Amino acid sequence: MLRSSELKKRRASRSTASVQTFPWQSRYSEPYKCPELKDTPGIPESRMRAFTLPSRVGNRLHYPDGTIKELPQ
């Protein structure tokens, strides 16, 4: 059985112990560049033109540059 003085010493040593760091916390790597999302060779530019067109959501047109236009009803 532990004496109260020994128990206090153990608790004090635990509370003042340095914080454990993990090896993955100190690693740094460059952000992922997503090479698979680049233009695929062999696909003609005419097929990629669709990505410049707006998307329709309800009565609005959402353009890739962020502009939104209301459609007349």
CB atoms within 10 A of CB 62: 14
pLDDT at 17 over 60: no
Determine contact, residues 60/70, Cβ cutoff 8 Å: yes
Q: Nearest to residue 64, comparing CAs of 46, 50, 43?
A: 50
Report DSSP state, residue 40.
Answer: P
Tens-place pLDDT, residues 42-58: 888 888 888 889 999 99
What number is the average pLDDT over the span 36-41? 78
